[in-house]
A and B are shown apart, each in its own frame.
Chain A
């Protein structure tokens, strides 16, 4: 089982590594993941067939806005692995694999703040101007530590079953898990605070609350808010343009008038 677990973990690592380096969000889809897992475990045909049904299941589950309800990639890998390794039917494999999404989410919410704490380091590294080192370090990080949680979770799930991981999660002190989860949703606040401190002026600052109210009170999505925001921005632009045109025409008229006066005089 350990050998299969290693293969499964490797498949996850490979798919995440390649897809993150080309940013396609294509190779992580079940229809690709399932055949690849099947191929490595020696049963490509089951992988392909399961890829079709898994893709259909996960089709409706979208990951817009960063919140992933169930991790399609790891669930698909596990479902295929369980089906091939235990000889179960597709439905059983899928039922066993489904809790992995929740497990992934719980463990990842613990590592998120740790990765977020690194972003000042990346900024200093970029600002040092040594982009070769920046590139090597970021890619090396992406290939090793960035997905280590997922790789380990998949390895242990296949080797020892998902129940072992669930009890590990339950044995963590509650306040650590809750604290880390709270911190990870506040981390984004630091990024926005940096942005705001650069963009904020008295003249436009109030528009922050326009966007806030539209999103929080009215629950509008980002595209519809962007359309309204663009209308406000264009109106403001047209207004400013009118003043600038007026100023330009006044000064050119003044100059023209002055020139005419001189001609008349002579």
Chain B
């Protein structure tokens, strides 16, 4: 994977992408999380790839402004890989939009888990251990060491992960394309993507009712009854209902505002 050397153009794109890798959390929203960061990170690559195709560039920019969430460091790996995928798409059309989206989604969950385990629970704890020891004696070096160890390691890791992501993507996709396994790969990626989306909906989308019906002396807690059918059935209903509406052509902005107003109105009647 390290055998293929990068051309100067590729190198300069990767360098520009690296410069944007700090934008991960800029304008983080609950709806799309790191989407804006991803768009900005992909921009240098898309600018070059779609130089002669302004419409294609706009479509690609929209494609990378979709829901995205992972660890800030492993983010670079996926961005590098996506660069390779976009390049394949432009150069020989061997990849379609859905495959790119599927691979991105499939990688979000695993990379988030790995990033948290390695950087948050390991590097940070070690760096803090070193830093606390020095700071206890009133030595500012503790703070500086913490920044250098925890922040510095992330910076270095980002650059290498970006490059690894790109070269892995290139060689991997080449092999897949040559052996005609692209369809098999797309299907595998969408299976993993689906599993991860299901898991993330289960843990991140919550619909809790505060609705109690009093019949005589007994009080019925509606939330418990609904959840006894299937835990979190309302969140599934919400997501699939929204999906139906989107497929019917409803704009996401309408849905977001609808949820906002609907929640307050329902809360007024004591349902939320």
Question: Which A positions have Cβ atoms within 8 angstroms of B?
Answer: 20-27, 29, 31-32, 35, 44-45, 48-49, 51-53, 55-56, 59, 62, 64-66, 112-113, 115-123, 126-129, 131, 134-135, 138-139, 141-142, 146, 174-176, 178-180, 182-201, 203-217, 220-223, 225-230, 232-234, 236-237, 240-241, 244, 248
3 interchain residue pairs of minimum CB distance: A211-B198, A223-B113, A179-B267
The 8 A CB mask of B116-156 against A (1 = contact, 0 = none) is 11001100110010011001101110110011001100110
Residue B184 is within 8 A (CB to CB) of chain A in the complex: yes
Nearest CB in chain A: distance from B143 CB, A: 5
The 8 A CB mask of B207-248 against A (1 = contact, 0 = none) is 110100000000000000000000110011011101101110
B58/A190 in contact, CB under 8 A: no
Interface SS of A by simple majority: helix
Pick from A27, A129, A138, A215: contact of B202, CB below 8 A.
A215
Residue B174 is within 8 A (CB to CB) of chain A in the complex: no
Q: Most A CB atoms within 10 A — which of B116, B124, B181, B195?
A: B195
Q: Most B CB atoms within 10 A — which of A62, A65, A179, A184?
A: A179
- In angstroms, Cα B22 to Cα A27, docked, is 13
Question: Which B positions have Cβ atoms within 8 angstroms of A?
Answer: 21-33, 35-37, 39-40, 43, 47, 54, 57-59, 61-62, 64-67, 72, 75, 98, 101-102, 105-106, 109-110, 112-114, 116-117, 120-121, 124-125, 128, 131-132, 135-136, 138-140, 142-143, 146-147, 150-151, 154-155, 179-181, 183-185, 187-208, 210, 231-232, 235-236, 238-240, 242-243, 245-247, 251-253, 255-257, 259-260, 262-268, 270, 272
A228/B187 in contact, CB under 8 A: no
Return 16 A-B CB contacts under 8 Å, by A number. Answer: A20-B26, A25-B72, A44-B140, A115-B27, A116-B256, A122-B36, A123-B32, A176-B267, A188-B30, A196-B197, A211-B200, A230-B110, A233-B195, A234-B188, A240-B188, A244-B183
Please give, as numbers and ranges, the residues of chain A lying within 8 Å of B239 by CB-CB distance. Answer: 189, 192-193, 196
B139/A48 in contact, CB under 8 A: yes
Nearest CB in chain B: distance from A26 CB, A: 4
B147/A27 in contact, CB under 8 A: yes
Q: Which residue from chain B places its CB closest to the CB of A32 in the assembled complex? A: B143
A229/B191 in contact, CB under 8 A: yes
Pick from A20, A53, A204, A222: contact of B109, CB below 8 A.
A222
Known: A22-B22, A45-B138, A122-B36. A192 touches B200 (CB 8 A): yes
Known: A117-B253, A146-B27, A194-B66. A244 touches B205 (CB 8 A): no
Please give, as numbers and ranges, the residues of chain A lying within 8 Å of B243 by CB-CB distance. Answer: 193, 196-197, 200
Known: A134-B40, A189-B201, A244-B181. A127 touches B146 (CB 8 A): no
A52/B135 in contact, CB under 8 A: yes
B190/A204 in contact, CB under 8 A: yes
B264/A183 in contact, CB under 8 A: yes
Pick from B67, B131, B204: contact of A66, CB below 8 A.
B204
